[in-house]
Amino acid sequence: MKIPDDLVQILRKSRRIVALTGAGVSKESGIPTFREAQTGLWAKYDPMQLATPQAYRRNPALVWDWYRWRRKYISEVEPNPGHVALVEMERLIPEFYLITQNIDGLHRQAGNEKLIELHGNIFRNKCFEEGIPIDGVDNFRDFPPQCPECGGLIRPDVVWFGENLLAENLELALQVTQAAEVFLSIGTSSLVQPAASLPLLALERGAVIVQINPDDTILTPQVHFVLRGASGEILPQLVRITWNSV
């Protein structure tokens, strides 16, 4: 894929760049996106039906088992060259922020620190009743696990469908998006709100919008640059050509 010269010039001049990532960024690490078929035992379940507070209240053992399975395979994969390139961007760009919809923790593992995990992190837990953080990932005595303080259910610290984002995360995401000179939308179908509205907000504020995705999305007609392809290939190439790095 040829990176357009005018994009390279814009990136070199920009101090404030924001990247928003989705499940596509982790695909080359071996993590399936939500909209792909699930495998084995889980093939018959729709993730959209499992990742809800109602599903957990109805059948906590089933949903906990699903998270246990996801944690296991996520813990066996590694960040890919796309993740590594985003760490390099944080090092090279004066005011870089990474906003992710992914809950797999791979950006943190790769080394990004100016990072907003908009939908939480699958390796953390919290009390369903009081929201307090709970130590431990999967090593609880009871199943489904119960909060040692109040006896309520322990749940993964992720944002489920129908739930609100953590206010401080959303506020910071809005703040950096509004200030961005360039906004990169990478590996996301741009369907899940409120993340999907961030590139539109950046556009409204005059930012240059870039999409990196092998397929078109609902955002495609609105962006200034479309880089069609896998993020694990395009991001390292972009960093190499623009900043002579990676």
| Residue 56 neighbours by CB under 8 Å, 6+ apart | 63, 64, 128, 153, 155, 160
104 binds ligand NAD (CB under 6 A): yes
Q: Which stretch binds ligand NAD (CB under 6 A): 1-9, 53-61, 168-176, 212-220?
A: 212-220
**Residue in 191, 199, 198, 228 with CA at minimum distance from that of residue 213:** 228
Give the phi and the psi of residue 30 in degrees, each rounded to 5.
105, 10
81 binds ligand NAD (CB under 6 A): no
76 binds ligand NAD (CB under 6 A): no
* Cβ atoms 202, 178 nearer than 8 A: yes
Instruction: Please tell me the distance from the alpha carbon of residue 134 to that of residue 154, in angstroms, as a whole number.
Output: 8
119 binds ligand NAD (CB under 6 A): yes
Whichever of 62 and 191 has its CB closer to ligand NAD, that residue is: 191
23 binds ligand NAD (CB under 6 A): yes
**Residue in 129, 114, 128 with CA at minimum distance from that of residue 17:** 114
Report in angstroms how near the CB of residue 63 gets to ligand NAD at its nearest.
15
Instruction: Please tell me the distance from the alpha carbon of residue 88 to that of residue 235, in angstroms, as a whole number.
Output: 10
Please identify which residue in the block is written with the tokens 């939908």: 119
- The Cα-based distances of 1 to 26, 121, 212, 226, 227 in angstroms read 20, 33, 11, 11, 8
Map residues 187-206 to x or -, x wherever contact with ligand NAD holds by CB under 6 A: xxx-xx--------------
31 binds ligand NAD (CB under 6 A): yes
Q: Which stretch binds ligand NAD (CB under 6 A): 20-28, 107-115, 136-144, 146-154?
A: 20-28
Catalytic residues: 119
Out of 5, 139, 215, 244, the residue judged to bind ligand NAD by CB under 6 A: 215
* Cβ atoms 242, 235 nearer than 8 A: no
Give the phi and the psi of residue 167 in degrees, each rounded to 5.
-55, -40
Whichever of 14 and 217 has its CB closer to ligand NAD, that residue is: 217
22 binds ligand NAD (CB under 6 A): yes
Tokens coding 112:
């990004």
Report in angstroms how near the CB of residue 39 gets to ligand NAD at its nearest.
13
Out of 14, 19, 20, 26, the residue judged to bind ligand NAD by CB under 6 A: 26
**Residues at the interface with ligand NAD (CB under 6 A):** 22-24, 26-28, 31, 33-35, 101-104, 119, 187-189, 191-192, 212-215, 217, 230-232
